[in-house]
Structure 1
Amino acid sequence: MRVRVSRDLRDEFLLACQADDKPAAQMIREFMRAYVESHPVPSEDNTKNESRDEHADRRNSKQG
């Protein structure tokens, strides 16, 4: 994964990580984990069921 950020942001981030005595990669992983935990994604099974339900709803609305 490659991410483009401004040089200033990168430099400030690295300095902040150094001040906390933490590697930048560790901090990025922690940010990613926190984001994923706060934004759950439906499981594949639920997604398939929702897709099937939406298809049935569209079909029923055309008939009625």
Structure 2
Amino acid sequence: MKRHGFRPAALVMGLVLLALAAAFLLDASGAWDLAPRLSLPLAAGGLTIAGVAAAVSGRRRG
């Protein structure tokens, strides 16, 4: 299998999506009430942080 380089943006986005999935599971189980006004900014913030990580790593490599 061919090795690939470290991609911090993919790591950040994966962690944000795991956090959102955990929040949705807690909401579905009734342990936590997830309001839509909380989930949308969390997803948008995660995309922003992943974009910044991609820009920083791209500038650092190039």
Under TM normalisation by the shorter chain, which class is it? 0.3 to 0.5
Higher RCO (Cα < 8 Å, 6 or more apart) = 2
Q: TM-score, normalised by structure 1?
A: 0.40
Q: TM-score, normalised by structure 2?
A: 0.41
User: Larger Rg: 1 or 2?
Assistant: 1
